[in-house]
Amino acid sequence: MSSPRRVLIFDTTLRDGEQSPGCSMNLAEKLEMAGALAELGVDIMEAGFPIASPGDFEAVREISRTIRGPVICGLARCNDADIDRAWEALQHAIRPRIHVFLATSAIHREFKLRMTTDEIVARAVAGVQRAKRHCDDIEFSPEDAARTEHDFLCRVVEAAIDAGATTVNIPDTVGYATPQQMGATIAMLRNRVPNIDRAVISVHCHNDLGLAVANSLSGVENGAGQIECTINGIGERAGNCALEEVVMALRTRHDFYGCETAVNTRRLVPTSRLLSSITGMQVQRNKAIVGRNAFAHEAGIHQDGMLKERRTYEIMAPEDVGFQKTDLVLGKHSGRAALADRARALGFELTGDQLQRVFDDFKRLCDKKKEVYDGDLIAMIEGRLSESPRDEWQLIAFEVASGSGRRPMARLTLRRGAQEVTEESADGDGPIDAAFLAAERITGLKLHCKDFQVRSTSLGHDAQADVTLEIEHEGKTYRGRGVSTDSVEATVKALLNAANRIASGAV
């Protein structure tokens, strides 16, 4: 029996994924996410687009210096400045890759680049050759390849490989392709490009029609050896191919695809939760693989089948992707060691100070709730991890009043650093609106709310409220998150979390 074919997983969460509106990350968050991706076992990590901004450059440079395991990749357009800047950021990586790209479709040639086919080929070759002077591992992407004429696509791919490209990526940049079309394109390249055996074929599919995973799998079925994807499928517009979905499809249907990856699938749920915590973009409940309902069964027929034989309605074990068998955890008599062990099982490594703060929160929560669930614990930990010991504003106390026939009011008491306590009151259209106005008066910040979401962390009327919001201040968007059994207190905590990000300059 022949050994399974190995498919490389190219994660672009930190580059294409971060371009998703509302998903920008600061340096510390990118480093934390990069560490999680390395632990997940991705083969290649696209750390950013170094010339795009000083922040992107710094992130790629620091990831190159500190992250070990995956190939570290930086994106560059096919011009000298981009390529040299990418190498400057990547030069400390043990295994660096420069990823150069240039649009090739007729619509891009005519309206964006205003270049002929000969000029495109010459520019692509020059870009690959310049990148090759810096390192051996070079990826070339003909942007919008799925809408590029086959004859020209073959020509530019062959030229890029001759120039030194070791990976050729075939992007469905706008999510236009169908699975049959994507598979046929990969098969066509394998049949018509004479030097194609000298490079790995990659696929990079967007999800505008909801076909990114299907298109990527079709590419693999027809010979692609690398899939470009993101955690939770985040990315431009409708997003990218979801890493967790495509990896588990290859694993679960190994009988069909005959492929394997190096991904540690038990890290999928913790990594998904970490990204949601960092970006504030929650995963929908019915999301495949990592959604809260992915392994939930409510229909009586399904429950009966599950009790008799789990495989009747589950094609994967929840433990294989990182879910725990039991959701109910711990109690008021549980100790610090038990809490740390449970946090570790959920994907969190807490330092001594972090553990103590979470433990204090846990004990207070146990006094309010009889049953503490994994969801409660996850929200509590993520809330603490989003804070900084140097936070400028801290909540001391709050009070709200609301009811029929009276004007809603909120009173906040805050401490600023080590300074004196400040108290302010405000009326509003409701207690939440009043809390916003009171926070503005104390902090002196104009807090324009662009998005406000409240969700339950677990079951029951005593469940904690998990509030995430986006605040616009001076043209920039800042995220905030707060958790409490009191939804107003959770909102105030989220407000202050955003205000502290504004004060620190972190988005």
Question: Do residue 213 and residue 82 come from a single domain?
Answer: yes
Question: Do residue 195 and residue 56 come from a single domain?
Answer: yes
* Rounded-to-integer distance, Cα 180 and Cα 493, Å: 49
Question: Do residue 374 and residue 499 come from a single domain?
Answer: no
Question: Do residue 255 and residue 349 come from a single domain?
Answer: no
Q: Of the candidates 385, 402, 428, which is a domain's last residue?
A: 385
Residue 285 in domain: no
Q: Of the candidates 368, 385, 402, which is a domain's last residue?
A: 385
- Helix, strand, coil share of the chain (percent; to 5): 45, 20, 30
35, two tokens: 């560490």
Residue 376 in domain: yes
Residue 288 in domain: no
CA distances, 301 to each of 305, 307, 316, 342 (Å)? 6, 10, 19, 33
Question: Do residue 330 and residue 310 come from a single domain?
Answer: no
Structurally, how many domains does the chain consist of? 4
Question: Do residue 156 and residue 131 come from a single domain?
Answer: yes
Question: Do residue 351 and residue 490 come from a single domain?
Answer: no
Question: Do residue 198 and residue 274 come from a single domain?
Answer: yes
Q: What CATH number is associated with residue 451?
A: 3.30.160.270
Residue 287 in domain: no
Instruction: Match 């400028």 to its residue by tokens.
Output: 392
Q: What CATH number is associated with residue 144?
A: 3.20.20.70
Domain limits at 171?
A: 5-279
Question: Do residue 345 and residue 476 come from a single domain?
Answer: no
* Rounded-to-integer distance, Cα 342 and Cα 329, Å: 8
Q: Of the candidates 279, 313, 342, which is a domain's last residue?
A: 279
- Closest C-alpha to 376, from 299, 489, 455, 271: 455
Residue 75 in domain: yes
Question: Do residue 306 and residue 373 come from a single domain?
Answer: no
Question: Do residue 125 and residue 258 come from a single domain?
Answer: yes
pLDDT in tens, the chain (507 residues): 567 899 999 999 999 988 877 678 889 999 999 999 999 999 999 999 999 999 999 999 999 999 999 999 999 999 999 999 999 999 999 999 999 999 999 999 999 999 999 999 999 999 999 999 999 999 999 999 999 999 999 999 999 999 999 999 999 999 999 999 999 999 999 999 999 999 999 999 999 999 999 999 999 999 999 999 999 999 999 999 999 999 999 999 999 999 999 999 999 998 998 898 888 788 888 899 998 777 764 444 444 554 456 667 678 888 899 886 544 456 677 778 878 888 887 778 888 888 898 888 888 888 887 677 777 888 888 777 766 656 788 888 899 898 888 888 989 888 887 776 778 888 888 888 888 898 889 888 888 888 888 888 776 777 888 898 888 888 888 888 888 888 888 898 888 888 888 887 766
* Rounded-to-integer distance, Cα 157 and Cα 159, Å: 5
Residue 286 in domain: no
Question: Do residue 398 and residue 454 come from a single domain?
Answer: yes
- Closest C-alpha to 213, from 177, 231, 187, 240: 240
Check if the beta carbon of residue 19 is closer than 8 Å to that of residue 235. yes
Residue 365 in domain: yes
* Dihedral, 479, 484, 486, 488 alpha carbons, nearest 10: -20
- Closest C-alpha to 269, from 250, 295, 251: 295
Residue 129 in domain: yes
